[in-house]
Structure 1
Amino acid sequence: MSISAPVAPYVDHKRFAWILSLLIPMSIATGPLLWQWHPVTLMLWLPVIFTYCIAPLIDLALGTDTSNPPESAVPALDADPYYRRVTFALVPLLWGAFIYAAWFSQSVVLSWQAQLGLILATGGVGGFCINLGHEIGHKRAPLEQWLAKLILAPTFYGHFTVEHNRGHHRDVATPDDPASSRMGESIWRFMLREMPGAFRRAWVLERARLQADGLPFWSLHNVILQPALITFALWGALCLWLGPQVLLFLLPAALWSNFQLTSANYIEHYGLLRQTGPNGRVETCKPQHSWNSNHVFSNWATFHLQRHSDHHAHPLRRFQSLRHFDAAPQLPNGYFGMFTVAYFPPLWFAIMDRRLVAAVGRDPARINFAPGQRARLMARHGLTDHADATLVAKENT
């Protein structure tokens, strides 16, 4: 009688790597500290250069990690308080980094070029605020719900949880979703559609919820107004402390922060389209409806945001348990590198359009085309509608 060997318990080899996310707020401090040591504009641009130029190279150097935790280990992983404590610890650190940057912007005389570098670096930190709000805002625990509102407040993006959880997850990869980009649509055109569209959708969704619950719209029951009040309190306190001119720093920093979310939305579902059946119902969101990346460094820094397919399939699953899917389309670099590419539309189209065509099996019915771009893009990539192809085949026979 043979005795099977005991199964070794699962060990998360990235367990302590998640602490890397706690170093993110320090990136905003490096610029001012280096500037005080050597007051030249370049010092304040170093965090920006690292994010958009150095981090993509680190991703290329470290490569990808496609390992998944076994499903049997997921309940224990999700229940482990260590991972929640990492996200909780990041909340005051990000708040501190944002306030520190605001103080520094008013405490020294900077050229406009130096101020711009500081604004972009601070906006990057604000982008991580939104990413953290994305992770904990999906959880049902009241503490995490309130921490999500708190961390979204510095950048005045408190409507995100409503818009994302109830709107984007419902409409993702369809023409109805302002947060899903279309083939042939530049990030700059997408921004003009996504930012106001997401804001409007959040208010429509929250109004409908309050009406259904019989609650007044203009009240503290409104979960968009709750983080907005925190924003007004924070920005008001900064104005009292540093002077109202600090708004000239806070507003563009918040705008760049929010644009980091727009950048993520742009690359996460570019050109991918869920099918509508004969009954008019849209198919369930599947792994092939999100662009993914397993690049190590940027996944550490963003709490596995880049395993986006599993997030859409299981929104409540915690970051440490998110899985790689072989069927999911893969980006050639992590999010930081793809942001940089997206900011140059001709480069983005040259890299991503052919990947998109391959990802959908050259089926234009599975591509979300920008209005007016379908014929041009199909001709450019040699695509044919299946209905047209069937007609040609019949004619040839």
Structure 2
Amino acid sequence: MRYQLAYMIGLFSALAIVAGFYAGGLWLVAMVLALYFVLPFAERLIGESRWPSDARIAQIDRRTVDRYDLILYLTAASFILLVGWALWAVSVTPLTWWEFAAFALLMGEYGGFVGIVTAHELMHRNSKNKRQLAFLLLSLVSYAHFAIEHVRGHHVRVATPEDPATARRGETLYAFLPRTIIGGLRSAWNLEKERLARKGLPAFSGQNNILVWWGVTIALMIAIGLFIGPLSLLLFIVQGAVAIIALETINYTEHYGMERTKLPDGRYSRVKPEHSWNSSHILSNINMFNLGRHSDHHYQSNRPYYKLRHYDDVPQFPYGLAGMIMLATIPPLWFRVMDRELAAFENRAG
């Protein structure tokens, strides 16, 4: 999308959640229904964008970069403030069980589609401060180790059997979720253990980022339970769980059935754009910092979101990310659509 302000949709989504909370329970339910059943059709109706071209990317100057980064920081701040407000709001506002459930779902989806996605963009930047901010955002959804596994594990092993975040052909979302969540944590621990060993440090060290940032999450949970209340603690736990499931569902869709060739020396062929599914649907991409341009992201993981390009000759989602996520929840329909798409791409690729 060529308009910078479009990427601020996450900020307006946060304000909509706050407004929905104070408008009453039916508004919260309506927002949940819109998220799951209206958004997939809206993104298909609005369509796709091939922007930016290589010529436009070459024209991006320092001031423009600063504005794009400011949007990223504002979105990160919106997530932190939204979580803080939500924890307080449920402690002082009487809610029915279904109002709480709808609110927790909205918070979790915001955490997955905005909070974690913002952290994802930050963890790929060549800046210690930005990576630390990514860890902080992830600690708010109890998934701090993702910053380690995603950058140093997933991007190295994507589209191979060794990658817990690559869904295998014929694997349902419900089989994938426990495998990737458990496998991702195990992989992150091993990667951090190896990093510390190279520095001559034990795994249980104050420099272990998993221990440090999981420590932040646990400290937050204790503080929330003691000073705000059990309902707020329940909200923190539930929104984190929903955010994790949302994130890993995106992973399921973006790498389903992808395979790199194993070479005679035992290594795998280089990661190329065709090893991820691509989506250039406008609505999903402005909401998730062009996460749908996953082909280019894996091809050059250091490219910032505003420079990610569209490729015509890679596997293309038939629908936007919101539509693909909903499709993934119904395995028979998912296999019917995606196995056909996968076979068609393989035939074109020869």
| TM-score relative to the length of structure 1 | 0.83
CA 1:229–1:75: 2 relative to 1, 3 Å: farther
**Aligned partner letter, 2:28:** L
Aligned to 2:65: 80
User: Pick from 119, 124, 135: which aligns with 2:109?
Assistant: 124
Matched, 1:29 2:14: no
Aligned to 2:34: 50
Aligned to 1:291: 277
Counterpart contact for 1:123–1:253, Cα < 8 Å? yes
Aligned to 1:3: none
Between stretches 144-153 and 49-58, larger displacement belongs to: 49-58
Aligned to 1:321: 307
Deviations 1:336-362 (A, max 9, x none): 121111111112112211111111118
Q: Report the Cα offset of residue 112 of structure 1.
A: 2.4
Q: How many residues align?
A: 348
Aligned to 1:108: 93
The residue correspondences of 1:216-365 to structure 2 (distance < 5 A) are 216-361=202-347
Q: Report the Cα offset of residue 19 of structure 1.
A: 2.0
SS at the partner of 2:87? helix
Counterpart contact for 1:52–1:339, Cα < 8 Å? no
Q: Report the Cα offset of residue 204 of structure 1.
A: 0.5
Counterpart contact for 1:77–1:321, Cα < 8 Å? no
**Aligned partner letter, 2:176:** F
| Cα distance in structure 2, aligned partners of 1:276 and 1:174 | 9
| Cα distance in structure 1, aligned partners of 2:348 and 2:258 | 12
SS at the partner of 1:214? coil
Between stretches 26-35 and 105-114, larger displacement belongs to: 105-114
Counterpart contact for 2:8–2:75, Cα < 8 Å? no
Q: Report the Cα offset of residue 266 of structure 1.
A: 0.3
- Percent identity of equivalent pairs: 36
Matched, 1:190 2:176: yes
Aligned-CA RMSD value: 2.0
Between stretches 235-244 and 80-89, larger displacement belongs to: 235-244
Counterpart contact for 1:48–1:121, Cα < 8 Å? yes
Q: Report the Cα offset of residue 315 of structure 1.
A: 0.8
Counterpart contact for 1:24–1:301, Cα < 8 Å? no
Bigger Cα Rg = 1
Segments of structure 2 that go 5 or more residues without pairing to the other structure are none
| Cα distance in structure 1, aligned partners of 2:8 and 2:271 | 31
| Cα distance in structure 1, aligned partners of 2:26 and 2:102 | 8
Counterpart contact for 1:62–1:296, Cα < 8 Å? yes
| Cα distance in structure 2, aligned partners of 1:45 and 1:241 | 29
**Aligned partner letter, 2:84:** I
SS at the partner of 1:80? helix
Counterpart contact for 1:98–1:125, Cα < 8 Å? no
**Aligned partner letter, 1:261:** L
Q: Report the Cα offset of residue 212 of structure 1.
A: 0.7
Counterpart contact for 1:126–1:155, Cα < 8 Å? yes
Counterpart contact for 2:159–2:166, Cα < 8 Å? yes
Q: Report the Cα offset of residue 245 of structure 1.
A: 4.3
Counterpart contact for 2:166–2:256, Cα < 8 Å? yes
Deviations 1:275-328 (A, max 9, x none): 112222201111111111111011000000000011011111100000001111
